[in-house]
Structure 1
């Protein structure tokens, strides 16, 4: 009996740690294997716990990440709506476009059947979005603007800036890993409609005001 009580106490403590970490952000398998294994073991209890908070657990074992998001609202549900624990953050149009382009690049990368990590230099990312931006004679200003957008995407957790290695000749350009959690936020259906939206993106970014919202 004492052994069972000890196991229960350990599990309860692990549950508390898991929920606290998930409320703060994403759990990655590669970052903390022990925490990840605890989550796999206790995921049913985590799901039950966060349901009370109006949240749901998104866990992708194949990609190795887990996070919490607000549960979809049911219009037929007469229960009072709960305040949102996970807030929505509006993004500027260039940031939204960059996320879409990176997601498309990740889909093409996966289809090639190569490595599991998509790593891009800043210059490569600049070329992805350059064709959608108005022509500018000020190259330095353009690079600075894109750098600002990249920093925002790093902050959101969809890119990870890597330290320059010996293989990186241009140490100032920056190298980024596209985090696979991006697949959970830009879904396959949205991606399927992406090509049809590119014309609208170009028209929007060519307009006098490039911003579509506050960051």
Structure 2
């Protein structure tokens, strides 16, 4: 267990700017993580002026910034700092499948980290692509979805391991338990959209 940073050595600008850049993980940014934890209330007060809220999950070891709801932003009289973007179908599908896989992993004694190969990831999402005889095209589409999920920070390429990825636990904050409970209904929606794309 890492030692806490003495109060007089905590660095608010480091904590805030690190969170502005993306998710802060305990396992990959231990020093920054200690600053974020030690200054959690100050970070929360600071980012609130920008219409953001800090989310810290000590048990899972991550922290990130989330935009406040549209109603809260309207009450504050400020615009949304980060625009919302709709994810491509297969990217959001892969996120859902990874969240389900992580939930299944957590019910076993397989260890804390979920590591998947590129082939396993392609096998997860490929059944949802339109049927085609061009297997190379399907692989390219699956790899594009995988790259997007890596860019979003929900998958991390394992250093020194060719073609292996860790499913980052922050995915649990974005694809919540209620959404997961309705997973079969969501899969039916994806299958329906996929069929429409084939027509």
- With normalisation by structure 2, the TM-score equals 0.89
* Distance in 1 between residues matched to 2:49 and 2:16, nearest whole Å: 12
Match of 2:25 among 10, 25, 28: 28
Q: Is the counterpart of residue 206 in structure 1 residue 170 in structure 2?
A: no
1:100-139 to structure 2, matched below 5 A, reads 100-139=96-135
Say if 2:130 and 2:197, in contact at 8 Å, map to a contact too.
no
Q: Distance in 2 between matches of 1:31 and 1:164?
A: 15
CA deviations on 1:40-67 (whole Å, 9 max, x unpaired) are 1110111111111111000000111101
Q: Tell me the SS of whatever aligns to 1:130.
A: helix
Q: What is the aligned partner in structure 2 of residue 178 from structure 1? A: 167
**Alignment map for 1:1-215 (pairs within 5 Å):** 10-11=9-10, 14-74=11-71, 79-163=75-159, 165=161, 171=162, 174-208=163-197
Of the two structures, which has the highest relative contact order with CA contacts closer than 8 Å and spacing of 6 or more?
1
Secondary structure in 2 aligned to 1:207?
A: helix
Change (3 A) 1:39 1:208: closer
Decide which structure has the larger Cα Rg and report it. 1
2: CA distance between counterparts of 1:55 and 1:182?
Answer: 19
Unaligned runs of 5+ in 2: 1-6
Unaligned runs of 5+ in 1: 1-6, 166-170, 211-215
Counterpart contact for 1:69–1:86, Cα < 8 Å: no
Kept after mapping to 1: 8 A contact 2:23/2:64:
yes
Greater helix percent: which structure?
A: 2
- Take 2:39 and 2:61, find their aligned partners in 1: how far apart are those partners? 16
Cα gap change, 1:109 to 1:78, in 2 (>3 Å): closer
Do 1:160 and 1:179's aligned partners in 2 also have CA atoms closer than 8 Å? yes
TM-superposed CA distance for 1:90, in Å, is 1.7
Size of the alignment, in residue pairs? 193
CA distance, structure 1, for counterparts of residue 129 and residue 171 of structure 2: 23
1:80 Cα deviation after fit: 5.0
| Equivalent in the alignment of 1:213 | none
RMSD of aligned residue pairs (Cα, Å):
2.0
**Offset of 1:209 from its aligned partner?**
6.2
Three-state SS of the structure 2 residue aligned to 1:208 is helix
Query: 200-209 vs 49-58, which deviates more?
Result: 200-209
